[in-house]
Amino acid sequence: MTRTFLLDGRTIPFAEGQTVMDAAIAAGVYIPHLCHHPDFKPQGSCRLCTVEIDGRTTSACTLPARDGLVVKSETDELNAARRTITRFLFVEGNHTCPSCEKSGNCTLQAVAYHLDVEEPKYPHFHPRRAVDASHPDVFLARDRCTYCDLCVRASRDVDGK
């Protein structure tokens, strides 16, 4: 028997061990996220994937899927909070999407499009943080960091550094 939960009224099948985020992605349903990546253990730090279950909130990327869960994601309240986080990230760093080589393949940009965040609401910080190009495999542009920690997890958990 297929195991399922409800996400915004839609039935989502899942396999043992999947999180709500994993199952949603497998079913083709987008839950906004920045720090989730299928190759790494979830850490639940960006909070963009926050969903509501029985009036309580939690991160979809760390929540194990269970039979009968009733999950809300696309609510006005949750999306308003996601918009605020996204707007803060855009002004805190230098995210020049039109000239960025990652445009079209960027989780921050995907979140912004999903939430209709297309123009700034707060003053830009215009940070000037040093670039670290000393590593042969990683180019670290700190003024474009979104604190997803994926580079840290790749280095620590995959490369064992």
**Cα pseudo-dihedral 143, 78, 20, 57, rounded to 10:** 110
Nearest approach in angstroms of CB 60 to ligand FES is 6
Nearest approach in angstroms of CB 50 to ligand FES is 7
The whole-angstrom separation of Cα 52 and Cα 32 is 14
Q: Does 78 bind ligand FES (CB under 6 A)?
A: no
The whole-angstrom separation of Cα 7 and Cα 149 is 27
What does the per-residue mask of binding to ligand FES show for 8-47, with x meaning CB under 6 A?
Answer: -------------------------xxxx-------xxxx
Nearest to 49 by CA among 107, 116, 125: 107
Collapsing DSSP states into helix, strand and coil, what is residue 99? helix
Measured from the CB atom, the residue of 49 and 108 that comes closer to ligand FES is 49
Measured from the CB atom, the residue of 49 and 95 that comes closer to ligand FES is 49
Q: Which two tokens stand for residue 33?
A: 């996220």
Measured from the CB atom, the residue of 57 and 124 that comes closer to ligand FES is 57
By CB under 6 A, name the binding residues for ligand FES.
33-36, 44-49, 59, 61
